[in-house]
Amino acid sequence: MPLIEDHQYLKICAQLASSLSVSISAARRKVEVAAAKEGKKDLQSRKEIAQEILEQTINEDNKQNISASESFDQLLKALKEDENFMLED
């Protein structure tokens, strides 16, 4: 993936990374994959796709009234029946 130096594109990807609680490179990869699925290669299309993904993520967070990081924290909590589970002796 070639490095894109467009400030607005990087800003949108940074906001997406923050809302998804992932790295900027992971957010950029998500946008690149979505753009490849749609067959779009130009920078303007990637900006639009990144903005759409960001808006979807924000809307989902607002519907659930919980941020992605809080949701991830809840997934990491052990269930009562799994608290004493060990993989190794």
Inform me whether the pLDDT recorded for 2 exceeds 60. Answer: no
**Segment 68-72 mean pLDDT:** 69
Q: Of 37, 51, 39, 38, which Cα lies nearest the Cα of 6?
A: 51
Tokens of 3: 């490095």
Q: pLDDT tier at 85 (50, 70, 90 boundaries)?
A: low
Interval 6-53: pLDDT, tens: 889 999 999 999 888 889 999 999 999 999 999 988 889 999 999 999
In the block, which residue shows the tokens 């941020």? Answer: 67
Taking the C-alpha atoms of residue 66 and residue 53, their distance in angstroms, rounded to an integer, is: 17
Interval 41-66: pLDDT, tens: 888 999 999 999 999 988 887 777 76
Neighbouring C-beta atoms of residue 13, cutoff 10 Å: 27
pTM for this entry: 0.66
